């Protein structure tokens, strides 16, 4: 399938995104002096901006490519939760899957920067496990829409939504219907995703969760393939920043897709873009190599933008042309 044809096939494809919703807050300004109160720079704030983060950013990336997205997650009864829902509505995203949890705060990440250099990040969050009643409600909503979906994406940032029990039920329900499941993991539940279709850790996550420091490329490849076999997932896609990504599927050698980023301004949200485009392409009939290639082109596009961002079909096609790939 040609790239342009594949991109057109994304339109109307329904994808269910379940995971940790976040609000990204950016404060940008300049620094001209040191505080007289303490030896710290004073940031003169000149602009601020709110963007969708985490699972909400995954949903936005899918929506930007024409997919129909059902986003399932929690938000608190606070300013950040209200702003998150407002932003989703402004972007044309369905917010019927947002479950209000009055006793939990919405995850908010505030990034302060000057001259395109991040100085500080402040996180407001509640990472305790979701209570059983809310988890039951989440699962009920999940099952209500699952049958109409072409793929499920689990975006796990370890913020408490995805408990071990809920993860197991999500995977089992999806497998029963033959619906592919793609996972963007973090540390806490790393080994709970047995039986998924696509498991996408980055290099740091792989090294940290396996408790080792890789000395050679052969060590990396061996560990990744052993993890894929341990989880019994169809594909393990390992992202490695400037080195691109590697696909492990039980074959003798991993397949390598290079990075296509021309100018790297910000890597925020690049992983969100990879998992969203990779899953959407795979659900649209692309083989895993083609799906990973288009996902890496999309990631290259967003790395050239400040903050969490999305890639349009035209930008992805332009990346293919610039890299002389058909």
Q: State residue 267's pLDDT score.
A: 56
Query: Inter-axis angle of helices 270-283 and 55-64, to 10 degrees?
Result: 50
Contact indicator for 268, 26 with CB cutoff of 8 Å: no
Residue with structure tokens 């479950």? 99
Cβ neighbours for 263, distance < 8 A, ≥ 6 positions apart: 303, 304
Q: Residue 83's domain spans which residues?
A: 3-322
Contact indicator for 168, 152 with CB cutoff of 8 Å: no
H/E stretch holding 180 reads none
Give, in degrees to the nearest 5, the angle at Cα 162 between 158 and 167: 130
Catalytic residue among 129, 249, 272, 287: 272
Lateral strand order in the sheet of 117-124: 41-54, 21-34, 107-114, 117-124
Q: State residue 212's pLDDT score.
A: 86
As a residue count, the chain comes to 326
H/E stretch holding 293 reads helix 288-303
Q: DSSP for 39-54? A: SSEEEEEEEEEEEEEE
pTM of the model: 0.93
End-to-end CA distance of the chain: 10
Would you state the structure tokens that stand for residue 284, as one six-digit string?
């649209």
Does residue 272 carry a catalytic annotation? Answer: yes
Q: Output the furthest CA–CA distance in the chain (Å, rounded).
A: 63
86: domain CATH number is 3.40.1190.20
Alpha helices in the chain (DSSP H): 3-9, 55-64, 79-90, 132-146, 164-176, 203-210, 217-231, 270-283, 288-303, 313-322
Q: State residue 268's pLDDT score.
A: 58
Contact indicator for 159, 186 with CB cutoff of 8 Å: no
Segments in the chain below pLDDT 70: 1, 261-269, 306-308, 324-326
Give, in degrees to the nearest 5, the angle at Cα 91 between 89 and 95: 35
The number of domains in the chain is: 1
Cα dist. 28→17, 50, 308, 309 in Å? 30, 12, 15, 17
Nearest to 297 by CA among 256, 244, 240: 244
């Amino acid at each position: 399938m040609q790239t342009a044809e594949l991109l057109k096939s994304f339109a109307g494809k329904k994808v269910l995104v379940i995971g940790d919703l976040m609000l990204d807050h950016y404060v940008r300004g300049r620094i001209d002096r040191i505080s007289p109160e303490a030896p710290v720079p004073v940031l003169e704030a000149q602009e601020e901006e709110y963007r969708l983060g985490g699972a909400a950013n995954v949903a936005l990336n899918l929506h930007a490519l024409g997919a129909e997205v059902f986003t399932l997650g929690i938000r608190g009864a606070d300013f950040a939760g209200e702003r998150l829902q407002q932003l989703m509505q402004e972007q044309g995203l369905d917010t019927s899957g947002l479950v209000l949890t009055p006793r939990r705060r919405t995850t908010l990440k505030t990034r302060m920067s000057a001259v395109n250099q991040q100085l500080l990040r402040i996180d407001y969050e509640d990472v305790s496990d979701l209570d059983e009643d809310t988890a039951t409600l989440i699962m009920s909503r999940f099952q209500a829409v699952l049958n109409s979906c072409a793929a499920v994406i689990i975006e796990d940032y370890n913020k408490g939504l995805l408990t071990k029990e809920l993860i197991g039920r999500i995977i089992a329900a999806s497998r029963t219907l033959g619906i592919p499941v793609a996972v963007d993991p973090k540390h806490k539940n790393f080994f709970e995703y047995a039986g998924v279709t696509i498991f996408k850790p980055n290099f740091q996550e792989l090294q940290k969760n396996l408790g080792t420091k890789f000395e050679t490329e052969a060590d990396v490849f061996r560990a990744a393939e052993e993890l894929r076999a341990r989880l019994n997932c169809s594909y393990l896609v390992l992202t490695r920043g400037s080195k691109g990504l590697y696909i492990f599927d039980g074959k003798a050698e991993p397949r390598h897709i290079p990075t296509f980023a021309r100018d790297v301004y910000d890597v925020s949200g690049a992983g969100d873009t990879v998992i969203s485009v990779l899953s959407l392409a795979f659900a649209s009939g692309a083989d895993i190599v083609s799906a990973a290639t288009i996902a890496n082109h999309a990631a290259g596009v967003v790395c050239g933008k400040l903050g969490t961002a999305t890639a349009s079909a035209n930008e992805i096609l332009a990346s293919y042309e610039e890299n002389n790939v058909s």
